């Protein structure tokens, strides 16, 4: 078991640099946590001087942020970006004393802030190239579909409305100027059970 895990870890470490496609490697949450842990190893993210930029808005975002919190040195390493401070992610960040920016402020802010890695989870805004370039390892997007299917907004709702029997989560490295376009690093399938609703499936996908 340990040898198998170690081989998966080393393969994923190479993929951060080489952007190879992995399918069905681990359960969704395990894949995400392992990817973040591998990134942390490469850039020594547990060093208190390193920084993570996290962008999101909803329950799915909160679940992903909790995974990020497990691998950073401290909450001081984190900067959370939200569209509205009163949304669930904004409230979570405030409650847990995590540094927070409004999206409009970050877009218009002209400063020298740099980050080691960026994470986007259910954010809904196109990330400008200049913000992507502020992140040493680029920005990862955690998307609620098996990309390239259902790019863009509301992928979970669209899968249900179209009567799909499966969907999934993809982790990709985002490219400038386009939504949900870039090298897919991890893709994991998830069954859609009959009569499930979007909030229920979102929770299943975020916490599986």
Q: What distances in angstroms separate CA 119 from CA 2, 56, 77, 158, one per listed residue?
A: 28, 8, 13, 23
Q: Taking every pair of C-alpha atoms in the chain, what is the biggest distance, in angstroms? A: 50
d(CA 21, CA 18) in angstroms, rounded, equals 9
pLDDT digits (tens, 9 = 90+) for 76-98: 889 999 999 999 999 999 999 99
In this prediction, what percent of the chain has a pLDDT beyond 90?
20
Class of domain 22-207: alpha beta
Query: What's residue 189's pLDDT?
Result: 86
pLDDT digits (tens, 9 = 90+) for 130-144: 889 888 888 888 888
Query: What's residue 43's pLDDT?
Result: 46
Whether 105 and 111 have beta carbons less than 8 Å apart is answered as no
187 closest CA partner among 159, 148, 150 = 148
Q: Where are the domains of the chain?
A: 22-207
């Amino acid at each position: 078991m340990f040898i198998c895990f170690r081989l998966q870890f080393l393969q994923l470490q190479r993929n951060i640099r080489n952007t190879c496609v992995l399918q069905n490697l681990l359960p969704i949450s395990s894949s995400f946590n392992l990817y973040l842990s591998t990134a942390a190893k490469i850039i020594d993210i547990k060093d208190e001087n390193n920084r993570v930029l996290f962008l999101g808005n909803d329950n799915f975002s909160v679940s992903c942020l909790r995974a990020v919190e497990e691998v950073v040195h401290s909450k001081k390493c984190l900067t959370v970006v939200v569209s509205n401070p009163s949304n669930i992610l904004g409230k979570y960040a405030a409650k847990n004393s995590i540094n927070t920016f409004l999206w409009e402020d970050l877009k218009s802010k002209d400063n020298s802030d740099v980050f080691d890695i960026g994470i986007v989870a259910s954010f809904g805004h196109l990330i400008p190239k200049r913000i992507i370039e502020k992140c040493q390892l680029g920005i990862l997007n955690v998307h609620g579909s098996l990309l390239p299917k259902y790019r863009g907004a509301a992928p979970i709702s669209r899968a249900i409305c179209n009567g799909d029997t499966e969907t999934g989560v993809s982790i990709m490295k985002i490219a400038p100027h386009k939504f949900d376009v870039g090298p897919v690093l991890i893709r994991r399938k998830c069954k859609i059970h009959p009569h499930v609703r979007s909030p229920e499936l979102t929770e299943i996908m975020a916490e599986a």
